[in-house]
Amino acid sequence: MSETYEKPQPVIDPGTKPFWDAAREHRLLLPRCRSCGEHHFYPRELCPHCYSDDLEWVDASGDGEVYSYTIARKPAGPTFAADVPYVIAMIKLDEGPRMLTNIITSDVESVRIGARVKVSFDDVTPELTLPKFKLESE
């Protein structure tokens, strides 16, 4: 945990506050539609699958697999410079939705599409926790 976290932080709004609040408690929360049963991410007011407004928040398993990834060789701005190379990945959660995140690994070259991953919460400030992922094999 760093007191001087310089990287971009989410500007949390009423529609996304439950997700970020849960992350602080190390829970991965997803909206689920009571009408069609599908989960989605990021959180919306209407289900993007069937457009119902009958939604609930549910705890996700935190398990998924790598759908795609890139190794950033150049940083997204100076605040990420010290992290290069780092992995940005799109995870297909076992509940269905895809989610952009980082994979925390000691070997960026070992990441592969299809690899199983598990959520790993990174408390970057006392107020903000980012749900990142780790390879199950690691």
Residues lying near other proteins in the complex (CB under 8 A) are found at 7-13, 16, 41-42, 67-77, 79-80, 83, 86, 88, 90, 98-102, 113-114, 130
Nearest-approach distance from CB 89 to other proteins, in angstroms: 8
Nearest-approach distance from CB 80 to other proteins, in angstroms: 4
Nearest-approach distance from CB 35 to other proteins, in angstroms: 20
Residue placing its CB nearer to other proteins in the complex, 60 or 69: 69
The answer to whether 68 and 76 are in contact (CB under 8 A) is no
How far apart, in whole angstroms, are the C-alpha atoms of residue 134 and residue 111? Answer: 10
The answer to whether 77 and 109 are in contact (CB under 8 A) is no
Nearest-approach distance from CB 121 to other proteins, in angstroms: 13
Residue placing its CB nearer to other proteins in the complex, 32 or 103: 103
Residue placing its CB nearer to other proteins in the complex, 11 or 25: 11
How far apart, in whole angstroms, are the C-alpha atoms of residue 119 and residue 49? Answer: 25
How far apart, in whole angstroms, are the C-alpha atoms of residue 119 and residue 91? Answer: 10
Residue placing its CB nearer to other proteins in the complex, 25 or 73: 73
Q: What angle do CA 105, 106, 110 make, to 5 degrees?
A: 70
* φ/ψ (deg, to 5) at 9: -115, 145
